[in-house]
Amino acid sequence: MNRLRSFLLSLALVSGLNATGAWAADTPPDVLARTTTQEVLTILKQDKDVLSNNQAKVYQLVEAKILPNFDFNRMTQLAVGKHWPRATAQQKQSLVAEFRNLLVRTYSSSLTAFSGQTVDFKPMVMKPDDTDVTVRSEIRQPGGQPIPIDYSMYKTSFGWKVYDVAIDGVSLVTNYRASFSSTIRQSGIDGLINTLAAQSAQPPRGTAKPAPRPGS
Looking at residue 107, its pLDDT comes to: 67
Q: Which amino acid is at 13?
A: L
**Cβ proximity of 30 and 126 under 8 Å:** yes
Q: Residue 95's pLDDT is what?
A: 97
**Where in the chain are the domains?**
3-201
**Phi, psi (degrees; rounded to nearest 5) at 21:** 80, 20
Q: 141: part of which helix (H) or strand (E)?
A: none
Q: What is the pLDDT along the chain (216 residues), one digit of tens a residue?
A: 454 455 555 555 554 444 344 445 566 777 666 665 565 566 667 666 656 677 777 677 667 666 777 789 999 999 999 999 999 999 999 999 999 888 877 766 666 666 667 778 888 888 889 999 998 888 887 788 888 888 888 988 877 788 888 888 889 899 999 999 999 999 999 999 999 999 888 765 544 333 344 444
- Nearest to 139, CA basis, from 128, 150, 129: 150
Using CA atoms, how far apart are residues 173 and 150, in angstroms rounded to an integer? 12
CA proximity to 105, closest of 151, 62, 139: 62
CATH code for residues 3-201: 3.10.450.710
Q: What is the Cα–Cα distance from 67 to 72, expressed in whole angstroms?
A: 9
**Coil, strand, or helix at residue 176?**
helix
0.95 cut: is pTM over it?
no
The answer to whether 32 touches 16, Cβ cutoff 8 Å, is yes
